[in-house]
Structure 1
Amino acid sequence: MDLTNFAYLTEEHIKTHTAIRAGETKIGQKISFGVLDQVSSKQFVILGIEESIGVKGNLGVAGTHTAWKGFLSKFLNVQHTHKLNAEQIHLLGTFNFNSLFESCKTIAEYRTATEKVDDQVYPLIQDLVEKGHVPIIIGGSHANAFPILKGCSLAFNEPVSAINLDAHADFRALEGRHSGNPFSYAYNQQYLNQYRIIGLHENYNSQSMLDHMDEARVEFISWEDIYLRKAVGFNEILDQYIQQTSQNHCGIELDLDSIENTLSSAMGPSGFTATEARQYAYHCGQHANAAYLHLCEASTQLENGQQSATIGKLLSYLVTDFVKGALEKTNI
């Protein structure tokens, strides 16, 4: 396994980001971290991906490499209580592809570099899943859905399904790897089984891609169908898609550009609320046959200078909501 660009978390990292306060116990004071013992019983393993390569390969604005550090400082300061304790969670470390990013100048180079990211990410995901863990992947572009699905599929020896809360289907043409085509590549290489998307924005998904999705039997509901036409309720369609994918291991994808006014390369003024995104994470943790959780496309700072002080806290909420749901798991 090539972990050239991976760094395990150390005690120094944890202490640096954990604020100790008398009378309180933070997750950072209790959580296990770094190299994961092969016989560890930890159910959830959190890792970061610091890269903006897939975004640039899709003609987007870089910044997704900044999400992991924003998340880490907020997550480690979550209160350790009977509602959420650290005994089932392990913080592994992070991939950092900034040097690879800096070596790229053209679209073609970014797309070639995305394949190099794929080749490092999928073996680690495969290894974690084979050992019985549920990976939670934070940061980076949506390009990483492909190696995550590949790793899970190889571990389970069968294609994996996926439910995606997203404004964009990311099912673009097979034109070289980038953040706009992880699911089309995964489908083409038979790592992806059923693909279900909630919240597509009708203004920003092309007819040619929708036609390709129809051929691949991808199902989706648009944001407009839920909120303008009121053809179906948010909870209703989520339950429907969870039921449809219940016979397979299912990846839980959450692209933060689906949340209104959330800093990302494709941020917008309309979309799901942060509360709805939290409900999605919790409900999928509780009811779906979840193989992993992938939170992507968020940025604490974009290359154009835009910044957000709340991204880390939002990511932390989404992780803890998913974990709480999974630990309270029931069947529909």
Structure 2
Amino acid sequence: MDINHFHFFEELDLNSYQKLREGEIKIGQKISYGADFRNSTAKFILLGIEESLGVKGNLGISGTHTAWDAFLKVFLNIQHTHKLNGDSIHLLGNFNFQQMADNAKSVEDFRDIVPVIDDAVFPLIQEISAAGKIPIVIGGSHANAFPIIKGVSLAKNNAINVMNLDAHADFRALEGRHSGNPFSTAKAEEFMADYSILGLHENYNSQNMLDEMAKHKGIRYYFWEDIYLRKKITFEDALNDFIQLNQNKNCGIELDMDSVEGVLSSAMTPSGFTTTEARYYSYQIGHNLHPSYFHICEAATKLEIGLKNTTSGKLLSYLVSDFIKGVTER
């Protein structure tokens, strides 16, 4: 398999992350890894995307390329137990596109580069999905939702539904590719069917975009303000509503970390979902749906403006393990 910009995980990589302890078995000691995922018995295929180009193309702050490494440092050292079996996980490796940012001088440059990322990512996702596995994709900007949706859709030979925990619908105009328009692109190219968004912030979704989404029968959303300010519906009822809408259908799962309060990201928020709610979402969608993929994006451990957060990797690790437990405990 020859994948541009992709590094397949090797034993040397695994050893560099592991912190072994006598009397304990860590996840990193039990997972399979490397290019041959098809012959692995693992259900979940874990891969990373290191890039902030989609963020920069959306006038944002670079830093999302730092999430993958921080995630691995934690995840590979959590406990292998009867509650979380490492045998179900295959660590494939990661894309690294961040070096392509060196030649980008303008927003237009970043938007021109993102389609190169799209074309590199979707064939690998297609192969994973066609093999009957569930891709779990960590890191990078939300721009990567489009090639993930495209890859799964092509594997299943049909448009798929998508559920998204997000403060932003990312259904902006097709003005060049970036992290603000992966879902409008997927809809326009007929890879995405229904789209359900939980937790939109009224202050950060334009009327033009809301009007555009209203033209599509299958797009539904709940505003964060309707859940917490107006108390029109509870978080749990809103989530259950979307779960019911997507049951027994091919549905991709998105979790944008800028919807979670206090998490370092390009569009970090002081007011949003709690980390506990994000964990609940990750478990419930795994437990109650048959997810086609799980994509966690927009987190960072360091932004280009100097802000840092050392807990981002640990939160990502919780979310992935919660999702896997949800699926395996069905």
Question: Shared fold (TM-score greater than 0.5)?
Answer: yes
Q: After superposition, where does 1:1-332 map in structure 2 within 5 Å?
A: 3-217=3-217, 218-329=219-330
How far off is 1:288 after superposition? Answer: 1.3
CA distance in 1, matches of 2:227, 2:302: 31
CA distance in 1, matches of 2:71, 2:181: 25
How far off is 1:54 after superposition? Answer: 0.2
How far off is 1:256 after superposition? Answer: 0.2
CA distance in 1, matches of 2:102, 2:329: 43
CA distance in 1, matches of 2:175, 2:101: 19
Which SS does the other structure have where 1:308 is aligned?
Answer: coil
Residues 164, 196 of structure 2: 8 Å contact kept: yes
Residues 150-173 of structure 1: per-residue CA shift (max 9 Å, x gap): 000000000010110000000000
CA distance in 2, matches of 1:142, 1:98: 15
Residues 146, 182 of structure 2: 8 Å contact kept: yes
CA distance in 2, matches of 1:36, 1:251: 24
CA distance in 1, matches of 2:251, 2:139: 20
Counterpart of 2:224, as a letter, is W
CA distance in 2, matches of 1:102, 1:239: 44
Residues 120-152 of structure 1: per-residue CA shift (max 9 Å, x gap): 000000000000000000000000000000000
Which SS does the other structure have where 2:23 is aligned?
Answer: coil
Q: What 5-or-longer segments of structure 2 have no aligned partner? A: none
CA distance in 2, matches of 1:278, 1:170: 22
CA distance in 2, matches of 1:13, 1:126: 25
Which SS does the other structure have where 1:195 is aligned?
Answer: strand
CA distance in 2, matches of 1:130, 1:283: 24
Instruction: Compute the TM-score of the two structures, normalised by the length of structure 1.
Output: 0.98
CA distance in 2, matches of 1:2, 1:182: 25
How far off is 1:237 after superposition? Answer: 1.2
CA distance in 1, matches of 2:28, 2:244: 36
CA distance in 2, matches of 1:2, 1:116: 16
Q: What 5-or-longer segments of structure 1 have no aligned partner? A: none
CA distance in 1, matches of 2:248, 2:182: 22
Counterpart of 1:317, as a letter, is Y
CA distance in 1, matches of 2:16, 2:94: 16
Which SS does the other structure have where 2:47 is aligned?
Answer: strand
CA distance in 2, matches of 1:131, 1:9: 19
How far off is 1:2 after superposition? Answer: 5.6
Which SS does the other structure have where 1:301 is aligned?
Answer: coil
Counterpart of 1:233, as a letter, is T
Which SS does the other structure have where 1:316 is aligned?
Answer: helix
How far off is 1:41 after superposition? Answer: 2.0
CA distance in 2, matches of 1:294, 1:93: 15
Which SS does the other structure have where 1:281 is aligned?
Answer: helix
CA distance in 2, matches of 1:288, 1:277: 16
- Count residues in correspondence: 329
Counterpart of 2:308, as a letter, is Q
How far off is 1:37 after superposition? Answer: 4.2
Residues 2, 120 of structure 1: 8 Å contact kept: no
CA distance in 2, matches of 1:285, 1:311: 21
Counterpart of 1:306, as a letter, is L
Residues 37, 90 of structure 2: 8 Å contact kept: no
Which SS does the other structure have where 1:153 is aligned?
Answer: helix
How far off is 1:238 after superposition? Answer: 1.0
